Structure 1
Amino acid sequence: MIRVLVVDDDPLVRSGIAMLLAAEHDVSIVGEAGDGLVAVESAGDLAPDIVLMDLGLPLLAGTEAIRRIADSGAGRPRVLALTTFDDDETVVRALRAGADGFLVKDSAPTRLGEAVRAVAAGRSWLDPAVTSPVLDTLRRQQPWERPGDGDPLADLTPRELDVLRLMAHGLSNREIGEAFVVSEATVRTHVSRILTKTDSRDRTQAVVLAYRCGAAPIPAFGWETRP
């Protein structure tokens, strides 16, 4: 079962989302929260697999709650951002905070289960309604804007760059190993070094960085990465 924590400041919306997910055969609702502070606390106490996080929260903004969960270390839950805002800057802020996916509320009834399963499986989910403008924004922006930094991919070896490119194309560790005729353990080592050298929280952030630096072509439609 996929354990889900539902976070939304509107009790009716929160209960409606919980009911939709509870009807899924492989989803279990382990808790609900109505503000960002409770969301962060519950994410630690309840150990959900997925936090379904509204961005317009009281006490602590959804983006900051996502950041704190993303910074909580190994074993932290994955976060699917859920909001009525569908502008590209909102999506980029949520992704940069550490969100593993983004779903517009208008799409939730038909795509909610699919999005939760994708994120729970280690993939990234970006609502088709916002995919194109978000990728356009990523294309225009400069890499993570850290003063004093040069090329954020400069420390990667040629093999690590190749691995990153295949990650950006959505290949799993097993598939990357098959492409290079190396073990899956070796690929995991490469991925770990890529995350460390690029100061990326996770695989998703590294892939976004690859797009923004031009190390991999931005796909025309959709976006999905696999573990």
Structure 2
Amino acid sequence: MLAILSPAKNMKLPERADVMATRPRYLPQTRALHTVLCGLAPYELESVMRTSPAIALRAAADFAAWEDTGGTPAALTFDGLAYKYLDAASFSADDFACAQERLRILSAFYGVLRPLDAIRPYRLELQHRPDGQSLYDFWGDRWYRDLYADTDTVVNLASSEYSRAVRPFLRSGDRFVTCEFLTYRKGKLRCLPAIAKMARGSMARYIVRHELESPEQLTFFGWNDFQYEQSLSSNDTFVFVSRA
């Protein structure tokens, strides 16, 4: 069983320097994207990324400084809500070994990353079209083939933007279990994006710390009053509800 997470837009210098990074496996594709992105002026990146001039300038500087060597472990470098609750900085050596086996991070720039794969600062999302080409088309079925090479079960803790790069290629016999986190607000069940990101990171941590081997073990997951709701769940969708 593998679990997948989306990347985070923000990055930071890792808190730990004692963790050995591994080499990303899709560097040829990353280099090809880098060549295209380096050829874009900041104002062009601003248009492609639909962002502010300041962020586009920062992105251009990061691409200009990017190299395919060095870098820091992805799980320690991404700095978003999911990664705060994954809290890889507190992992033991055994936790990192388990994470390398059971957790994957989907990146528009780097492809499928293991938690310890080395990355450098970048800004690129799957919805961007840096050369007019869809990044979904650029990556094709590589992510699917990577994820299902050694397992028939993937736990989807990624956003729809990233899980959409895997879903079209699913075959009979593949299990793709999406976890949804719903909160009662004003008498209705709602997905609150910030809380859902926290829950995804917490669940990824739960998988690693408990060395889970099947999705059914996730039904015992509990964080911030979330509990598995069998009446709303199915074989391919696990729903967790918080009534707090």
TM value normalised by structure 1:
0.34
Q: Which has the higher helix share?
A: 1
Q: Which has the higher strand share?
A: 2
TM value normalised by structure 2:
0.32
